[in-house]
Structure 1
Amino acid sequence: MIKRLFLLLFCAALFQGNHLSAQIFPPDFECIKSDSLFWEAPINSCGPFVSIDIYFSTQPGGPFSLLASVTDPMVLDFEDPNPSGEDRYYYLLSNFDCPGEMAIPSDTLSNGNIGDSEILVVSVENGEVQVIWEASSSPQIESYIIYRTTPLGTIPIDTVFGAGVTSYIDQAADPSNQEEVYYVLAQDPCGNTSNFLDPHNTIFLNAQVEECDEAISLSWSPYSAWSNPIERQEVWVSENGGADTQIATLDGTTSTFDFSSITQGVNYCFTIRNIEFQTQAISNSNVYCVNAFISLPQRELMLTNLSVRKDNTVEVSWFWDIQADLNSYEFLRGTSSGNLQPSFSGLPGILINNQISRIDPTADASMSSLIFQVQTLDDCGRSAASDEGKTIYLSGAPGPGLSNALTWSSLSINDVEVNKYRLFRSKGFTSQEVPLAGDLLLEALDPVDPLDPSEVEVCYQVLAETTATLPDGNTQNFDAWSNEICLVQEPVIRIPTAFAPGGLNTLFRPYIVFSEDIDFNMKIYDRWGQLLFETNDYLKGWDGRKGLTEMPMGVYTYILNINPRDSEPLEKIGTVALIR
């Protein structure tokens, strides 16, 4: 009908503009159904109606022969007996008594199948499905029927009218939750339809956050109905509603992709785009959005301080990322690097501070430096470990010339700088700092006062003042203590070689420095081995008598037995001259 009206208007305009003779317009050849031809009456005013002439051929290009003439203008159909049931091609001519006028033939239609309408692409656009197809080659097409596969089967969902209409938006589809499958059939006015061709389906994208892998795993069904292969697939993503960005190009057979560059809490929206080889047709998948809530590993674990307590246990301090999903922590401890064993473990609890300290109750830092490492385990079973760190170990011994010689190892922790070492000495409940010749020296010689009985035992401890550069870029100062050692001075013995009871040196006794807490015994013998005097009090000397009897001037033998605390027993044998 549309074609006939167009020809009528076109020829009328041509006639008026160029003063040409009118043409005889054909009937509107609508369709053929079961060898029955249907048309609409032509409109011609050049003369009276004579007939509608029907021509046929077994070939689309002819030759055509007159099959029949319908002389009743009210008859708008004709049934061809077609005894052999062959495929035939028909066109119609209007026969009006219009001398000298040319009759225009109608479209040529066939009693065979209607030309197929092949889907070119199905794509998800803005949450709806767009179907684009190729127009049928049959001229009598008046509409296209859109079919979609549903739980009830493959059913028509809509009909679009117009032979030139080649696209459709399915607003009732649900491509975000399922793959949608489509067919398009061309239809003529008689209800004849083209064949069902291979269906086209949307690309259905699914995504899952892999919490422990810190990734989002994508999976989809690539486009499968194009006549050409898929040239490439593109992965697109947007963040928090921003613009789409292409992040990957894949081959045509891939159906999975892992997106690993994710940030906690970001909303990611993904789209898969398939491009057909040669035609460059594009099919988009549904948009799949996920919130990246992942299990964060421990990435900022750093040992910051190791401080020995008075009881030789060790306080371990470290820095960690409180955003990590931690399950537990433990200390590894040992005396040699690379050979550390678990010594203490705990649960992180509620993390509100990224700096934490815990005491290793089983540590004993009194014998040597201890090496520590902090190790964590997160909810995904991933472990993280700090660098190793080493405590300060202080050692010493009574030195020459009434002094204590002290040495200590350096505090060793990565990214922790020692600013200064300080040495402290204590006696009883008092403590004072021992001046050092340099801030980073690792040794000292501390004099003791022989006139001060409390100097017999002095305890020492080293303090390191440090600055740690933390993983977040900040710095923090720490105090790291060494173990405490106590040094006991051995008694210093001075023995006179003579004495004079009537002179200035009236008694014979040894002079002992740092004599507290010693066991003492002194015996005096004459030359014949007779015991003249014995005492267990080092302050009580021999006055040159045996009992009340004064011994004559001469040389006498002494035997001293001294048993100091915390050292080996001493025995000294010698002679002393008694002068009268």
Structure 2
Amino acid sequence: MLSFGQFIASPDLQCVNEDAGSNDITLTWTNRNNPCGPFVAYYIYRSSNVNGPFTLIDSVLNQTQTTYTDVTAPAGTWYYYMESNYNCVGFTRRQSDTVCSQLPAIPDIVSVSVSGNSVIINWAESPSVQTHYYEVFIINNGNLTNPITVDQVVGIQNTTYTDNSQNPMLESINYTVAAFDSCGFSININTLPQRTMLLTHTLEPCDRLINLDWNRYINWPGGVKEYQIWLSTNGAPPAMVGSVDSSRQDFFFSAFNDFDSLCFTVRAVRADSTVFSNSNEVCFVAEIVQPPSYLALTDLTVNPANEIIAEWRIDTLAELATLDYQNSKDGINFSSLDFVALGNSFPEVFTYKDSITNPSIRAFYYRLNALDLCNTPYISTTGRTVHLDVELTDFFEMTLKWNLFEMEFASVRNYNIYRSDGNGSLFLASLPSNAREWVDDLTDDLNKNGTFCYRIEAEYDLFLPTGYSKSGSSFSNTECESHKALIYVPPVYIPSQNPEDFKPVLLFGNGSNYSMKIFSRWGELIFETNSVSFGWDATINGAAAPTGGYPYLIEFRASDGTMIIEEGILTLIR
């Protein structure tokens, strides 16, 4: 203690050490100059209690002496202080610091925490007033008998040290401390070292998962309450994204996007929630196998050749390996049609033409099964073709029936009906979106060849969640049905009342292989033609045929290939 005003400065009592063998106690000090008068003595006081009372046990008359051995102290803990006596009239003697005969107590470690590439060690202030400095040690492989000195921290109240000599990014490091008196004596190091947490990570690009692992934080009084996981995403301030109890040293994280810049830290929380320890920070860019954000069927139709055409739009940022075109009869059990291997880049639109499936049998469902680079399947939206069935339900009447068109995210506006008789397509009607049946009246088409082919067009609007939209058309299969060929033969022919020659009327027949023969009553062939438009003029060898009955035989092939034979007797009246 220094002299201020009318005081005599005491010696600087540095340490009090007890000999383990003899129990003698040696005091060590440094002298201070007191110029107020001549030196008299140094007084040494002793007590078994830090709060006294203290007893003067001896005087040192040699001004330059700096040690003293107390051989009278019984075994136990003793406290000492000193005073300097100078012949200075009116001056008051000051006491030195009180120093214990025991070595400085072992300080408690508060925390060992990582900050950047450094380690910050915190410990509690030593309760021993004789503490002059602390030493920070590293413990390798649990070897407490050979600690490695890192550095000294001078001053009893200086209880934090930052170690820049180690790399906490590579390994977990054990730290401990010891308290020393000014003579360099210490009881021992703290034998409960605390170590840094080494955080490592594993990125599973196929599982879109990050696995964090760290070593257990040890030797906290009361243990660890929990481990908190802190994350900075793309440079944002760190935020806690989860926690686990003290029994676990792992954490799984999946709430991130491809190419996010992530920095993780694990924070151990002491049982009383007042002390924390951070691990090293692990930073990386999360590169995962990018799944498709959309895989949408956008067109599904049957072309005039009865081939099914399907079109999909695919997210070009997805990391896909193959495409599997599939169809199904029931929308549940799908079969593979064809595979396409994809490269690093591919177009957004894929079109597939199915020339094998027969759309005239039934409606078929179509979808796309895409596999990414991890063999994870992704199923596209699904659609169903329109299957048209046509039936001759009455004379001059065709009934059309079809299933409703289906496509995810699409709505049908209307159904259009088209008919073809071999001379081009004819628009017949437009029906509402819930229509599934329509009857075609053929009474105005009796002169056609008898085979009628129909197609249904579903007009729809598509709105995908991605914002893509289109108006499209989906055609059904082309379905043809033939009306049975009919023939009308007038039973009576009166030339004077009918300027036309005698000939039959064909309904829904094309006149292929046509033949009409007329015979006399005795069976003699009197007329023959192979032209539907050429009739008998009621003459025999240029002369008017007499009134009577004339047998006829008419043959032709209908449009469905059936041979029609009509026989009868024509009554000729003059």
Does the 8 Å CA contact 1:54/1:66 hold for their aligned counterparts? yes
Does the 8 Å CA contact 1:28/1:42 hold for their aligned counterparts? no
Change in 2 beyond 3 A, CA 1:308/1:534: same
Percent identical pairs in the alignment equals 26
Bigger Cα displacement from structure 2, 513-522 vs 326-335: 513-522
The equivalent residue for 1:30 is 15
**Alignment of structure 1 residues 99-110 onto 2, 5 Å:** 105-110=95-100
Q: Distance in 1 between matches of 2:339 and 2:122?
A: 65
The equivalent residue for 1:96 is 85
Does the 8 Å CA contact 1:500/1:506 hold for their aligned counterparts? no
Bigger Cα displacement from structure 2, 496-505 vs 222-231: 496-505
| Aligned mate of 2:491, from 483, 497, 509 | 497
The equivalent residue for 1:71 is 61
Q: Deviations over 1:527-575 (max 9, x none)?
A: 89x6757968364767889999999754455555544242544444443
The equivalent residue for 2:468 is 474
Does the 8 Å CA contact 2:13/2:99 hold for their aligned counterparts? no
- Please state if 1:276 is matched with 2:270: yes
Does the 8 Å CA contact 1:56/1:88 hold for their aligned counterparts? no
| Aligned mate of 2:456, from 453, 456, 462 | 462
Q: Deviations over 1:493-548 (max 9, x none)?
A: 011213468985897653324443634566767889x6757968364767889999
Q: Distance in 2 between matches of 1:170 and 1:380?
A: 44
- Please state if 1:195 is matched with 2:188: yes
| Aligned mate of 1:175, from 168, 176, 184 | 168
Q: Distance in 2 between matches of 1:513 and 1:111?
A: 133
The equivalent residue for 2:138 is 148
**Alignment of structure 1 residues 220-369 onto 2, 5 Å:** 220-278=214-272, 280-349=274-343, 351=345, 353-369=347-363
Does the 8 Å CA contact 2:416/2:431 hold for their aligned counterparts? no
Does the 8 Å CA contact 1:424/1:431 hold for their aligned counterparts? no
**Alignment of structure 1 residues 406-485 onto 2, 5 Å:** 406-426=400-420, 431-436=424-429, 438=431, 440=433, 441-442=435-436, 443=438, 445=440, 447=442, 455-485=449-479
How far has the Cα of 1:391 moved from its partner? 0.7
How far has the Cα of 1:433 moved from its partner? 3.7
* TM-score where L is the length of structure 1: 0.83
Q: Distance in 2 between matches of 1:410 and 1:390?
A: 8
Give the residue type in structure 2 aligned to 1:191.
G
Q: Distance in 2 between matches of 1:59 and 1:536?
A: 149
Does the 8 Å CA contact 2:118/2:163 hold for their aligned counterparts? yes
Change in 2 beyond 3 A, CA 1:536/1:127: farther
Q: Distance in 2 between matches of 1:206 and 1:79?
A: 57
Bigger Cα displacement from structure 2, 390-399 vs 23-32: 23-32
Change in 2 beyond 3 A, CA 1:365/1:154: farther
Question: What SS class does the counterpart of residue 421 from structure 1 fall into?
Answer: strand
The equivalent residue for 1:41 is 31
* TM-score where L is the length of structure 2: 0.84
| Aligned mate of 2:206, from 207, 212, 218 | 212
Question: What SS class does the counterpart of residue 114 from structure 2 fall into?
Answer: strand
Bigger Cα displacement from structure 2, 223-232 vs 431-440: 431-440
Q: Distance in 2 between matches of 1:97 and 1:437?
A: 126
Q: Distance in 2 between matches of 1:310 and 1:55?
A: 119
The equivalent residue for 1:18 is none
Does the 8 Å CA contact 2:10/2:84 hold for their aligned counterparts? no
The equivalent residue for 2:119 is 129
How far has the Cα of 1:468 moved from its partner? 0.5
Change in 2 beyond 3 A, CA 1:464/1:157: same
Q: CA RMSD in A?
A: 3.8
How far has the Cα of 1:249 moved from its partner? 3.7
Q: Distance in 2 between matches of 1:398 and 1:567?
A: 17
Does the 8 Å CA contact 1:29/1:92 hold for their aligned counterparts? no
The equivalent residue for 2:106 is 116
Bigger Cα displacement from structure 2, 156-165 vs 511-520: 511-520
Give the residue type in structure 1 aligned to 2:15.
E
How far has the Cα of 1:133 moved from its partner? 0.8
Q: Distance in 1 between matches of 2:320 and 2:375?
A: 9
The equivalent residue for 2:22 is none
Does the 8 Å CA contact 2:17/2:103 hold for their aligned counterparts? no
Change in 2 beyond 3 A, CA 1:395/1:531: farther
Q: Deviations over 1:482-502 (max 9, x none)?
A: 222344444320112134689
Change in 2 beyond 3 A, CA 1:459/1:332: same
Q: Distance in 1 between matches of 2:242 and 2:372?
A: 31
Change in 2 beyond 3 A, CA 1:423/1:187: same
How far has the Cα of 1:308 moved from its partner? 0.9
Q: Distance in 1 between matches of 2:274 and 2:81?
A: 41
Change in 2 beyond 3 A, CA 1:167/1:518: same
Question: What SS class does the counterpart of residue 142 from structure 1 fall into?
Answer: strand
The equivalent residue for 2:178 is 185
Give the residue type in structure 1 aligned to 2:461.
T
Q: Distance in 1 between matches of 2:366 and 2:140?
A: 65
Change in 2 beyond 3 A, CA 1:57/1:494: same
Bigger Cα displacement from structure 2, 90-99 vs 175-184: 90-99
Q: Distance in 2 between matches of 1:350 and 1:179?
A: 41
The equivalent residue for 1:19 is none
Q: Distance in 2 between matches of 1:388 and 1:496?
A: 59
Change in 2 beyond 3 A, CA 1:349/1:309: farther
Q: Distance in 1 between matches of 2:543 and 2:84?
A: 181
Give the residue type in structure 2 aligned to 1:148.
I
How far has the Cα of 1:469 moved from its partner? 0.5
Change in 2 beyond 3 A, CA 1:42/1:417: same
Q: Distance in 2 between matches of 1:93 and 1:36?
A: 13
Q: Distance in 2 between matches of 1:163 and 1:464?
A: 89
How far has the Cα of 1:90 moved from its partner? 5.2
Q: Distance in 2 between matches of 1:266 and 1:545?
A: 100
Q: Distance in 1 between matches of 2:411 and 2:11?
A: 102
Q: Distance in 2 between matches of 1:91 and 1:450?
A: 132
How far has the Cα of 1:316 moved from its partner? 1.0
Q: Distance in 2 between matches of 1:31 and 1:448?
A: 130
How far has the Cα of 1:237 moved from its partner? 1.6
Give the residue type in structure 1 aligned to 2:131.
I
